[in-house]
Structure 1
Amino acid sequence: MPSETVAIPKPKERRPQRRLLPAALLGLFAIAAVIAVGLKGGSPSPSWGELAGLISGEGDALVRTIVAEIRLPRVVLGLMVGAMLAVSGTLMQGAMNNRLAGPELLGLSAGASLAAAAILVLRLPVPYHLQPLCVLAGGLAGGAVVIMAARIARGAAGMLLIGMSVTAMLNGLLIVLIAMGTSNDVNLFYAYLLGSLANRGWEQVLRVLPWFAAMLPVAFVLAKRVNLLQLGDDSASGLGINAGLSRIVILLASAMLLASTVAECGPIGYVSLLAPHLARAVILSQDARLVLPVSALIGAVLLALADQLGRLLFAPLELPVGVWTTLVGGTVFLLILSRKNGGAFHGGK
């Protein structure tokens, strides 16, 4: 009796890869749509023909200045900051092996806010053009305290507890500084704490750009280590990496991505927490090599779109982008939580 060849179906190993290209194309289309809304929305609102003429250097000089010097850099900055926040969140969630971990637990936002409050309230003699660098240094210092203290921690849970404790201490010092300030100081600092892209131009874009260009490739290089840490410290060590050292390196990269955005735009919440979840849901994968680029696209669109909503929806009144990301992001995240059990947010499951 002739033997029959039984075809064994191959496992669907490349399903996430097949979903990556449509997700990337959809993300790029969404970015183009957000840019169009950002350039056209508001008053004046140029037509498509006028917009094309403005790009080529034609048309009304005032409208061209508004589009090229006010709206365009704001959209570009929103896209960059959103991508950086999303990648920072993806790195931290992978390093901590906890889907509820956020870069804010690194002490970066609190450290940067504390530096900004010190400059404002204590009237420190810091030139205006150097203030963002000082805020950036404060954010990195806050992150460094957490990372150095985390060296004594046992595992990811201990590092999260240390991060929460350091952040609470820095926030306490921040409250003390705010109490020392005048009402005018408090109002100015309150606007910073909300997180905003208003009144940002090419100067801010150029300050963020080096961090964007340098740290995103570093994040993709670290993707393999993120994947190993998601298996657990024992498994990662068995596969030949130092779990503790790898976690600190990944947290440092996450800190550098977040600190530069907080220095220029203030603390903007929920993008770093929400974007990685949406990316995993889109491509149905926990692989950081796939999640990172999709998360970056989603974060860029989320933040830039939220900023345009804040700018246009209640015009001429403008709501800071941090308010929108908290309202929308918090609501969406609660919906995600309601559809998953607690174990879905731990250990990559």
Structure 2
Amino acid sequence: MPNRLWSNKTGRKATLPVFLLLCVLVSVFAVSLKHGTPALEWKTLLSILFTDGGEELERTIVREIRLPRVLLGLLVGALLGASGTLMQGALNNRLAGPELLGISAGASFAVAAITVLHLSVPFQLQPLLALAGGLAGGAAVVLAAKGSKGTTGMLLIGMSVSAMLNGLLIVLIAMGTSNDVNLLYTYLLGSLANRSWEHVGRILPWFVVMLPVSLLLARSVNLLQLGDETASGLGLKVDRSRIILLVASALLVAITVAQCGPIGYISLLAPHLTRAALRSQDARLVVPVSALCGAALLTAADGIARLLLAPMEIPVGVWTTLIGGSIFLLYLLGRKGGRVRG
């Protein structure tokens, strides 16, 4: 029974990881607001945040540039972390992720098509079109992998579908003007740069709705972890629940892709780190803590993107792919019967 996954001991184990994640978030939040050009004293930063202290330029930089960027990173990272948990639960596959199942590529293709073909689509509807593209990419992978056994077949098919969609994306870029290419370049790498309160306002309603929905779906994830036959025997409509989970996961990814471009490996890595820290598979814990972990990972990566090579900035999507991909590879190698040791 799924209730066996939960115990008071499990809840107590979550206290330290959650506390550490909150400390990381607060630290990254503060450092991101303080450092940059210009760098601020802590006293000045606090006076800007809570009063009208500091010079006008400093107030503008903190309140209109740095603060919305950090908050957007928190929201996007949380959505990606929750998305990864739902997707892995829906497929009962720890290697499932939007990067490997064609969802990110499909959503990116949809948004790029709007840009290059100059389609008159209101910005509020772009997440829905990104969702359609992401669902199409994910559905192609799932249907093609239906007869395959194990994770290898799904990974190969997912990589093939993603490669095909990325090839079509290149064709679209070739059709665009130089201005289109410049717009798409940063977007397709995944970036939080040049984002404003308007972007925060666009993603906040989705966050307020979708994160509680993700928590409500945790029971279905717990049941699916027991296997399809057991879940069905416990009264779960397996196929319908799986579709709902995949749609919810794809929607979470599509929202972030529409706003910030494809940001890789957060949704794949956050659930793994969360399960390892909690030593629990209970989705009622893993979903919210994965959201917290995703927020910490993305805001930290964005701080690196902005500050490490300043004044030059490499989009955060590059850093999450480089760092997240490396960590995930080491994780997978370490799982091979303990043959890889530190």
Partner Cα distance (1:188, 1:20) in 2: 42
Structure 1 residue 166: Cα displacement = 5.4
Describe the SS at the equivalent of 2:99: helix
CA contact (8 A) 1:96 1:156 kept: no
* Mapping 1:1-349, distance limit 5 Å: 13-55=7-49, 56-105=51-100, 107-126=102-121, 130-131=122-123, 133-145=124-136, 160=154, 167-341=162-336
Q: Decide whether the 8 Å contact of 1:155 with 1:244 is kept in 2.
A: no
Q: Deviations over 1:187-208 (max 9, x none)?
A: 4322211000000011000100
Does the 8 Å contact 1:114/1:138 carry over to 2?
no
CA contact (8 A) 1:115 1:134 kept: no
The total of aligned residue pairs comes to 328
TM-score (norm 2): 0.88
Q: CA deviation at 1:334?
A: 1.2
Q: Which residue of 1 aligns with 2:3?
A: none
Alignment partner of 1:104: what SS? coil
- Supply the distance in 2 between the matched residues of 1:342 and 1:236 (Cα, whole angstroms): 29
The one-letter code matched in structure 2 to 1:17 is G
The answer (yes or no) to whether the contact 1:107–1:142 under 8 Å persists in 2 is no
Compute the TM-score of the two structures, normalised by the length of structure 1. Answer: 0.86
Q: Structure 2: give runs of 5+ residues left out of the alignment.
A: 1-5
Asked whether the 8 Å contact 2:298–2:320 carries over to 1, the reply is yes
The answer on whether the counterparts of 2:193 and 2:315 sit within 8 Å (CA) in structure 1 is: yes
Larger radius of gyration: 1
Structure 1 residues 96, 185: closer, same or farther in 2, change over 3 A?
same
Task: Write the distance in 2 (CA, Å) between the matches of 1:238 and 1:80.
Answer: 37
Separation in structure 2 between the aligned mates of residue 264 and residue 279 of structure 1, nearest angstrom: 25
Equivalents in 1 of 2:129, 2:160: separation in Å?
Answer: 17
Structure 2 CA distance for partners of 1:215 and 1:245, relative to 1, 3 Å: same
Alignment root-mean-square deviation, CA: 2.6
CA drift of 1:109 comes to 2.1
